[in-house]
Amino acid sequence: MTTRNLFLLPGDGIGPEAMAEVRKIIAYMNEEMAAGFTTDEGLVGGAAYDAHGAAISEADMVKALSADAVLFGAVGGPKWDDVAYEVRPEAGLLRLRKDLELFANLRPAICYPALANASSLKPELVEGLDILIVRELTGGVYFGEPKTITDLGNGQKRAIDTQVYDTYEIERISSVAFELARTRQNRVCSMEKRNVMKSGVLWNQVVTETHKAKFADVKLEHMLADAGGMQLVRAPKQFDVIVTDNLFGDMLSDVAAMLTGSLGMLPSASLGAPDAKTGKRKALYEPVHGSAPDIAGQGIANPIAMIASFAMCLRYSFNMIAEADRLEKAIANVLDKGIRTGDIMADGCRKVGTTEMGEAILTEFKTLSA
Ligand code: IPM
Ligand code: MG
């Protein structure tokens, strides 16, 4: 029987509550579909800091590196606001991205028909929205050196972050975007700030050359990232795939997330390059929402983004396309039935907590799988 090794890192805040719902789906798939998932679990973020004084332990890094896929909840919270910068909760996530070389971050923003009214934009602007943000995840200003704060000795300090991109980094992320576009509407919009930044000039050139050399059949457009942000809230349905750097991608994906009604809805996949021998990619799946410390532990968090992240895991790590489709359909059906967590609650709907939402999706998934 195939074994599929999952490493679970629930993390902090609502992470563990959301992960608990995914665990039920994994158990069901093992029992009823002989899916062969094995799970191991570790600590990340504040939880790891409390236990080991680090944002992730070396032992858990080894497990993450050897797993077929990592499922990640969320990290951070006010409890750890004052810990040293090097061991802050976010450092665990950044180390995983860097050490696993997860350079391609896929952030789909899909507006479920049932949720068009939950968006802060007019429903007609977001109904049927289906865009995919492809964010570069291991380069740019997140990791560029120098990254320092220096005392200038005259009562002033100087902070430096470095935005840096090499050709190969832009080539590989834009290739991922073009390849994915071919499976969708075949359109890519690349966003940078070539009017101000040298890295934007190179980004624009390399995307253009990669397109010409290998992906001329895909429609390519370039947009300045600030104008892109504006267009995302003006007319979001004009986009199919957006490819952009680490920092712009961080911001633009939060904007795109909110178009869909709630940050609690959006999954993501972070993928590495295919292994030369096995063809397998290292991968980490995580909801875009954070740890939401304000509602943690109350059983009211929306588990949909975490469950949808597991659907992406089925699709991209295990090629279980039919199962992924069914799980995504189960989410849509549950929303159609008017079942809602507090963050997406609307008139006439039934408000439920995390467990009930998770169970409703599992029940629907069972029905669709029968
Ligand atoms: C994200 C988050 C992270 C980021 C934080 C938690 C480090 O905002 O995944 O979008 O900035 O990349
Ligand atoms: Mg972010």
* DSSP state string for 199-231: HHHHHHHHHHHHHHHH-TTSEEEEEEHHHHHHH
Closest atom, ligand 1, to C-alpha of 250? 10
Give me the phi and psi of 200, to 5 degrees please.
-70, -35
Residue 355 scores a pLDDT above 70: yes
Phi-psi region of 37 (alpha: psi -120 to 50; beta: other; left: phi over 0): beta
Mean pLDDT of 235-253: 97
Closest protein CA for atom 5 of ligand 1: 90
Q: Are 112 and 332 in contact (CB under 8 A)?
A: yes
Closest protein CA for atom 8 of ligand 1: 250
Catalytic status, residue 40: no
Q: Could you tell me the distance, in angstroms and rounded to a whole number, from the CA of residue 251 to the centre of ligand 2? A: 6
Closest atom, ligand 1, to C-alpha of 253? 10
Catalytic status, residue 28: no
Could you list the residues known to form a binding site for substrate, using ranges. Answer: 97, 107, 135, 226
Give residues with Cβ within 8 angstroms of 124, minimum separation 6: none
| Confidence tier at 263 by pLDDT (50, 70, 90) | confident
Could you list the residues known to form a binding site, using ranges. Answer: 77-90, 97, 107, 135, 226, 250, 254, 290-302
Instruction: Give 59-71 pLDDT, tens digit per residue.
Output: 999 999 999 999 9
Q: Could you tell me the distance, in angstroms and rounded to a whole number, from the CA of residue 93 to the centre of ligand 2? A: 12
Q: Could you tell me the distance, in angstroms and rounded to a whole number, from the CA of residue 134 to the centre of ligand 1? A: 14
Closest protein CA for atom 4 of ligand 1: 250
Closest protein CA for atom 11 of ligand 1: 250
Closest protein CA for atom 7 of ligand 1: 90
Mean pLDDT of 300-313: 97
Q: Which ligand is nearest to the CA of 137?
A: 1
Element (H, E) at 167: helix 167-182
Mean pLDDT of 127-142: 97
- Helices (H), ranges, 281-320: 304-316
Q: Are 55 and 48 in contact (CB under 8 A)?
A: yes
The yes-or-no answer to whether 1-106+265-370 and 130-259 have a common fold is: yes
Catalytic status, residue 250: yes
Catalytic status, residue 226: yes
Strand runs labelled E in 20-151: 37-41, 69-74, 104-110, 130-136, 144-151
Choose between 265 and 330: higher pLDDT: 330
| Confidence tier at 2 by pLDDT (50, 70, 90) | confident
| Confidence tier at 114 by pLDDT (50, 70, 90) | confident
Number of residues in the chain: 370
Check residue 260 and give its pLDDT: 87
Integer-rounded Cα Rg, in Å, for the chain is 20
Residue 82 scores a pLDDT above 80: yes
Query: Within 6 Å (CB) of ligand 1, which residues are found?
Result: 90, 93-94, 250
Closest atom, ligand 1, to C-alpha of 268? 9
Catalytic status, residue 142: yes
Give me the phi and psi of 224, to 5 degrees please.
-70, 140
- In the sheet that holds 269-274, the strands lie side by side as 37-41, 4-11, 69-74, 281-285, 269-274, 104-110, 130-136, 241-244, 187-192, 219-224
Q: Could you tell me the distance, in angstroms and rounded to a whole number, from the CA of residue 289 to the centre of ligand 2? A: 8
The CATH number of the structural domain formed by 130-259 is 3.40.718.10
Up-side HSE of residue 75: CA atoms within 13 Å toward CB? Answer: 28
Q: Could you tell me the distance, in angstroms and rounded to a whole number, from the CA of residue 154 to the centre of ligand 2? A: 35
Check residue 196 and give its pLDDT: 98
CA distance 201 to 7: 39
Check residue 197 and give its pLDDT: 98
pTM for this prediction: 0.95
Pocket test residue of 9, 44, 88, 90 for ligand 1, highest count of atoms within 8 A of CB:
90
> Does CATH place domain 1-106+265-370 in 3.40.718.10?
yes
Closest protein CA for atom 12 of ligand 1: 250
Catalytic annotation, pick one of 250, 282, 285, 343: 250
Mean pLDDT of 71-84: 97
Closest atom, ligand 1, to C-alpha of 105? 9
| Confidence tier at 1 by pLDDT (50, 70, 90) | low
Check residue 45 and give its pLDDT: 98
Pocket test residue of 247, 250, 251 for ligand 1, highest count of atoms within 8 A of CB:
250
Choose between 362 and 257: higher pLDDT: 362
Q: Where are the domains of the chain?
A: 1-106+265-370, 130-259
Angle at 292 between CA 16 and CA 159, to 5 degrees: 115
Mean pLDDT of the chain: 96
- Residues within 5 A (CB) of ion ligand 2: 250
Q: Could you tell me the distance, in angstroms and rounded to a whole number, from the CA of residue 250 to the centre of ligand 1? A: 6
| Confidence tier at 262 by pLDDT (50, 70, 90) | confident
Structure tokens at 290: 């954070």
